[in-house]
Structure 1
Amino acid sequence: MNSEPGDVAVGPLPPGPLGDHVLDLAATGRAGLAALLGDAPQRHALFRRGMRADRFLVATVNGELAGYLSLKYAGQGPFAPSLGDFIRCQGWRRGPHAWAVFSWIEARTQPRPRGAYVYGMDVLKAWRGHKHGRDVGGALMAAAIEAMTRLGYTSLDMEVRRPTARALARRAGAVPAVAPRLSLTRLLMATAGEYERLTIPLTPEARHGRP
């Protein structure tokens, strides 16, 4: 991690209270699927138990949590609840249907061959924008680019909806993703609704955080 006082430090999810706090926050995500997955406590019960800590990057400022980002690569994302988890949390009548729908939606997050995917990113409210000249979102994205480049991946995809997220991705070098005409990826992209699929080519320049 960076160590200069006041800088945004980004690194792997640390063990202990801060790491547990990040996992708890992430486990209540997917609020847009509340009708399918339930309210925040229900989503926490569904996701928290099997979350993968090694798929997270964490941003801090002077030890204070400022934001986090999760990645999907090598076939694994931050969480992947099983049919059994859905049945445990939602019962036999609702669980299998919810699992099937969720699995279809999750297929959109599957990276392309030799690629990785930004599964989610959250900058805490107090640190959004460029507070005191700091760009927490930009630091997280740069760290994700560096980590995935180092592991040998050739692209970093994401889906964005809000203008701020789109602007952040484009500053990092993202361009609209293009999939073969007759491919599952193209079909899944067509189901994204108001979300736009973007991709960052992972070049030697991107390793240093430059677009």
Structure 2
Amino acid sequence: MILGIDTSMGTSVALVADDGAVLAERAGDDPRGHAELIGPLLESVLRGSDGPGPAAGSNARAPRGPSAVTAVAVGMGPGPYTGLRVGIAAARAFAAALGVPVLGVVSHEAVREQLGLGPEAAVATPAGRRGHYLSVDGRIELTQQDPGDAVRPDGVSAAAVARVALRQRRLGEEGPQQPLYLREPDVAPPARSKRVR
């Protein structure tokens, strides 16, 4: 069973069986509250309890709990710096605690999976400052141009992230291990050290 996590556009968590069946999925409504949502969403999906966000694909008969997880799939972006860091840190911490692998997935590939699109379909997500992350045929770029008729999803399904990871694992492919920020964070360290008196 694979635990899927994506925080590239909002916060989504899912539990997916090895055959790709969605056992449980929850998503938060707040597009920026990743840190506040990730813990309750993980608990809700793993324990089968009511939690924040709408439930989808719940299967009460499936084995639940952390011990049933054999891998953690995580959306590696493109996405905002802070949001991605929250999801990736949660995935790595959870996987380390269980001794299972982390499987990185390009979030745009998950969008194609959730919408049943091929690799030639253009996907665009907001990048801030009127820009877009645009991907087509495995290439991703940051553009200030209008992405035209590219698919513009409202969110990324963690179940789709897990399904892409399952496919990559079956094919012997490895997803990204580093986040795809495509933009440096807006904060920077001070130019010189300040002295405390």
TM range (shorter): 0.3 to 0.5
TM-score by length of 1: 0.32
Of Structure 1 and Structure 2, which has the larger fraction of its residues in helix? 1
Higher RCO structure (Cα 8 Å, ≥6 apart): 2
